[in-house]
Structure 1
Amino acid sequence: MSMFTEEWMNKYSEAWNKEPGLADALKQINFNSVIGYGLDGDATPIGYIDVQDGQVVDSGAYDGQELNWDLRATQANWDKWTKKPLGMMGLGMAYTTKKLKFNVGDYGAMIKDPRMAGPFIKSFGLFGKI
């Protein structure tokens, strides 16, 4: 199953909602965002999730949704992070070396807020479970 396709995004959203350190942690801060995932250089993301109060309420193939976050990387990097999820140091390195790009969203604000940074790291850990 290819990453970020409709089927993949639906499985990812199920895993997200079952992950207490992710969904529950984000619910505590009333986290609401539409997050796109895709390949660096593409005009639009491939897939998206819509998170309301920490829970994914909608997901699938990207179809023009307004995004709060748009995460991009090469397929090789997404594949690598599926096998070995990013930790805090790896995330910082991926961002500073532009292996992970935020086409939309404020990486600096997110990473400085431990209430968001921890769950963000956990979201990468789910990639290998799909």
Structure 2
Amino acid sequence: MAELFSPEWMERFAAEWNKEPDLAGALSQIDFASNIAYGFVEEEGPRGFLQVVNGQAVGAGVYQGQPVNWDIRASVDQWMKWISSPPGMTGLGMAFTTGKIKFKVGDYKSMLKDPRMAGPFVKSFSVMGCV
């Protein structure tokens, strides 16, 4: 497996994202467009970058200072745990409450209140397991 959030990993994640109807398909129904960064809590900046337009991942690679709507962080161990055993909505809620997942940018609470976004967000973790 490629290093987590490396350019190769992010490109494979984007390809898997686009194959998943409960993720890309669901987000296309609400014209979701966002720049999403992924990284580790102990690092100053994110590592990976995903650009989503109309639900589809159209760009992926290294984060290079692009403006983002979401900057999602966790420890390496936590990311690896979620990749091997994707969390559900309750697990992510607990992770947020206990600080195991952090949003440097983005409003996690408002996203969870919108089931059109919450479901695909949870699904993105199982898609990571396909990379």
* Pairwise TM-score range, normalised by the shorter structure: over 0.9
- The two structures, once aligned, show a CA RMSD in angstroms of 0.5
Q: How far off its partner does 1:50 sit?
A: 0.2
Query: For this pair of structures, how many residues does the alignment match?
Result: 130
- Post-superposition Cα deviations, 1:83-103, rounded to whole Å, max 9, x if no partner, equal 110101001001000000000
* Alpha-carbon distance in 2 for matches of 1:28, 1:129: 23
TM-score of the pair, normalised by structure 2: 0.98
- Post-superposition Cα deviations, 1:1-37, rounded to whole Å, max 9, x if no partner, equal 1110000000000000000010010011110000000
| Residue segments in structure 1 that go unaligned for 5+ positions in a row | none
1:128 corresponds in structure 2 to 129
Moved over 3 A (4+): none
2:85 corresponds in structure 1 to 84
1:100 corresponds in structure 2 to 101
Structure 1 vs Structure 2: percent identity of aligned residues? 53
| Residue segments in structure 2 that go unaligned for 5+ positions in a row | none
* Alpha-carbon distance in 2 for matches of 1:19, 1:58: 16
1:7 corresponds in structure 2 to 8
Amino acid of the structure 2 residue aligned with 1:127: M
TM-score of the pair, normalised by structure 1: 0.98
* Alpha-carbon distance in 2 for matches of 1:79, 1:24: 26
1:74 corresponds in structure 2 to 75
